[in-house]
Amino acid sequence: VTSANVTDGSLHLQVSHGVADLEDGQRRLREFLGQRGAGERGIYRAELAFDELVTNAIKYAHAGGAQHPIAVSAALAGSEIVVVIEDDGPPFNPLEAAEPEKPTSLEEAPIGGLGIKMVRMSSKAMEYERSAAGKNRVTVRIDRD
Amino acid sequence: VGIHLFLATARALELKKAKMVLFGAHPLVKESFNNVRLPELIPLADDEDAALALLPPA
C-alpha cells in the first residue's frame, strides 16, 4: 500500500500491484472496519470484494503490465459497508463479464468470473461507472453485520 | 490474490495428473465457495484427514 489515511470517516488506500500490497490493504481494511464495529461477516465480505476486485483490476484492466495504482476507499454508512475501487486503466466493466455457468470441469471452467460472482452474491448491490475523469469505478454495498 | 489462484493452481496440477483438495476453510469462506459451486471443481474437505481420503494413493 503506497498510501493510507482516514479522512471524514472513510479509509483511503492506494494499492500497487504486489501480493504484499494486497495483504497489507486487506489488513488495513479489516482493522478499519473492526474498530468501527462492523460484524465478522461484513468484514469478511468487504475483504472478499477488495481481494477479488483489486486482483481483477490488476489482471484485466492493466493486462499490458503498466503500473497504475488502484484507489480503494471504505466507509460505514448506516447499516452498510461501502467499498469503492477505482483505477485509471482502459474502460473495463467487471459486471459485464459473462457470468460463468455451472462449472463442468477444471479444464473448461473460466478462470475469470467466479470471483466477481462470489462478490455479487455476498453483496447487497454492486455498480460500475466510467467516471468523467476517465476512471473505472466499482462500488460495492455490503451489510455491515 | 483471489479465487484465480485456486483455479489456476488446480488446473496446472490437473495437467500434471495431480489433484488439489482444499480443507479447513472458515465457514464464511466455505459459504462463498459453495455459492459459486467451486467444490464441484476443487473438492473442499473439513479437515486434513478427510482431504487426504479424497486423494488417490501416492
Residue A32 phi/psi, 5-degree rounding, is -60, -50
CA geometry: angle A108, A111, A115, nearest 5 deg: 130
Contacts of A115 in chain B (CB under 8 A): 2-4
The CA R_g of chain A, rounded to the nearest whole Å, is 15
pLDDT of residue A94: 85
In which element (H, E) is residue B33 found?
A: helix B27-35
- Assembly ipTM: 0.83
B44-48: average pLDDT: 96
pLDDT of residue A38: 97
pTM of the model: 0.89
Q: Closest to A114 (Cβ–Cβ): which among B26, B29, B38?
A: B38
Least confident window among A136-140, B33-37, B48-52:
B33-37
Searching chain A, which residue's CA lies closest to the CA of residue B30? A118
Q: Quick: pLDDT tens for A45-78.
A: 999 999 999 988 887 766 666 677 899 999 999 9
Q: Closest to A118 (Cβ–Cβ): which among B3, B14, B40?
A: B3
Q: Is A42 left (phi over 0), alpha (psi -120 to 50) or beta?
A: alpha
Cell 494486497 found at: A22
Q: Quick: pLDDT tens for A113-137.
A: 788 899 999 999 999 999 999 999 9
CA atoms within 13 A on the CB side of A92: 17
CB atoms within 10 A of CB A8: 6
Closest CA–CA distance from residue B21 to any residue of chain A (Å):
13
Contacts of B7 in chain A (CB under 8 A): 106, 109, 111, 114
In which element (H, E) is residue A84 found?
A: strand A80-87
Closest CA–CA distance from residue B4 to any residue of chain A (Å):
6
Searching chain B, which residue's CA lies closest to the CA of residue A99? B36
Instruction: Choose among A58, A3, A48: nearest CA to B36.
Output: A48
Convert A88-108 to b/e letters by CB count within 10 Å (16 or more is b).
Answer: bbeebebeebeebeebeebee
The CA distances from residue A135 to A36, A57, B58, in Å, are 29, 11, 51
A109 contacts B2? CB cut-off 8 A: no
